[in-house]
Chains A and B, each alone.
Chain A
Amino acid sequence: MRRKVVVTGMGMVTGLGNGVPANWAAVKSGRSGIGPITLFDASRHRTRIAGEVRGNFDPAGYIHEKEARRMDRYQHLAMVAAYEAINDARLPYPPSEPYRCGAVIGSGMGGLASIEDGFRSVEQKGPKGAHPMVIPMSVINLAPGMMSIRFGFKGPNFGVVNACTSGTSAIGEAYRIVREGRSDVMLTGGTEAVITPLSIAAFNALRALSVRNDEPEKASRPFDRDRDGFVIGEGAGILVLESEDHALARGALIHGEIAGYGATDDAFHVVMPASDGEGAYYAMRFALEDAGVDPSEIGYINAHGTSTDLNDKMETMAIKRLFGPCAEKVAISSTKSMTGHLIGAAGAVEAIFSIMAIKEGIIPPTINLENPDPECDLDYTPNEAVSRQIAYALSNSFAFGGQNASLVLKQV
């Protein structure tokens, strides 16, 4: 059995704003969400900029103040995006068939901030300093677990941990669950909130982050000659996936279809991508084969496009190899130029942007692309959005660890 899987609800929170409409408006207009780090004192860190979610991101008050105290920020962001998605889908909860509804959510590092706080407290006060909520606040499976509690979803439920590919992997796995008939409705996507002292210091130690501290809005510049690393961002993107039959039976509004998913690993290096881009090539190829589409049918690629030296070159090579002569015609962009890199939430937020691009016929730009790297010579939609009707989009994510995953999104 192979059922069609459609997207009926979408929600997101990023440094660009709260909700899909605000985020989509921001990326269409080419606005940067990057600014100075305010979540902790970063004055001694080499990198002092990030894409922070600012202010009160839960204005509707989905999470009670007292509950928020017992949740890590990565869970709080996920729940707010999940409420937006489930309300957008007009999905009643608790559902009448709870065992046919599940949640698969990705995150790279989960409640790292709670682990750091907990460790600091134990160092200061001894073992008694460990608060009983450290474990539930830090483990990654509590993001889907909390959705299950809130919405009464009793079906398949697990976390996906795949670094920067987590969000895309989660959507791909949830898509397979619905496609195979193991569930009718899945909440899926990714969430991340690791703008923390340890995380920034450790990414700096890997020389992975941009240090363009004086020009935060210019720091994330995928495919540009002067890029100097990625800019970390935080946020969450959550989608409601349903079998087409289930969606039609309840008269749901359908945003788009998940048409294909491909996943590979480079089998090469702990943090570097394979220089020939072979793993990325096969992830994209398998996603296209799964969807039964030819590269010439893909109108838009939401690139992984991290703004690191190696990724952007490697991804360009992989696209050229798969698309052949079509590589020069396909519109590509990296919305990370505006959101920063949301690690485990990136793929989810970008899948939503890809669906919006299909729905509205608008390709969001890659901002800060002023002097293209000679080795990055495709159409990355520099600096301004363009109008283009597209039937299929491809969304890529690649991770430290060599994991690669691609999704094909389709117009409905």
Chain B
Amino acid sequence: MDDVERKVIDLIAEVLVDVNKENIQLDSKIVEDLGAESLDIYDMIALLEDEFGLEINDEEVEKIQTVKDVASFIKAAGRA
């Protein structure tokens, strides 16, 4: 796991009240496996945007399913 992936897991854990960090895997699906609801997603987007200094628009969010997808998106945005 790289730094971006670790940070993404930290932020997701910060948002999801009922989920322990240990239970968040790179292939965990954020909605199906971790039980995130829409408000959780908006909260995560705000934290991620703040942390990584980027903008995630709602169309891009729809393509993201797993924790790894989030990290990949951030790394791609960083290279762009």
Interface residues of A (CB under 8 A from B): 64, 66-67, 69-70, 128, 131-133
Given known contacts A66-B15, A66-B16, A133 and B55 CB-to-CB distance under 8 angstroms: no
A387 to B42, CA, bound (A): 56
CB neighbours (8 Å) of B42 from chain A are 132
Total contacting residues, chain B, CB less than 8 A: 10
**A132 lies within 8 A of B46 (CB):** yes
**A70 lies within 8 A of B43 (CB):** yes
CB neighbours (8 Å) of B16 from chain A are 66
18 inter-chain pairs at a CB distance below 8 angstroms, sorted by A residue, are A64-B17, A66-B14, A66-B15, A66-B16, A66-B17, A67-B17, A69-B14, A70-B43, A128-B49, A128-B55, A131-B43, A131-B46, A132-B39, A132-B42, A132-B43, A132-B46, A133-B39, A133-B43
Closest to B13 in A: A66
CB neighbours (8 Å) of A64 from chain B are 17
Interface residues of B (CB under 8 A from A): 14-17, 39, 42-43, 46, 49, 55
Q: In terms of DSSP, what is the predominant structure of the interface of chain B? A: helix
Closest to B17 in A: A66
CB distance from B43 to the nearest CB of A (A): 6
CB neighbours (8 Å) of A70 from chain B are 43
Query: Which 3 A-B residue pairs are closest in the complex by CB-CB distance?
Result: A132-B42, A66-B17, A131-B46
- Given A66-B17, A128-B49, A133-B43, 13 new contacts (CB under 8 A): A64-B17, A66-B15, A66-B16, A67-B17, A69-B14, A70-B43, A128-B55, A131-B43, A131-B46, A132-B39, A132-B42, A132-B43, A133-B39
Closest to B43 in A: A132
CB neighbours (8 Å) of B14 from chain A are 66, 69
A64 to B14, CA, bound (A): 11
CB distance from A187 to the nearest CB of B (A): 22
CB distance from A380 to the nearest CB of B (A): 47
Closest to B16 in A: A66
CB neighbours (8 Å) of A69 from chain B are 14
CB neighbours (8 Å) of A133 from chain B are 39, 43
Closest to A133 in B: B43
CB distance from A212 to the nearest CB of B (A): 40
Closest to A132 in B: B42
A67 to B17, CA, bound (A): 6
A120 to B14, CA, bound (A): 23
CB neighbours (8 Å) of B43 from chain A are 70, 131-133
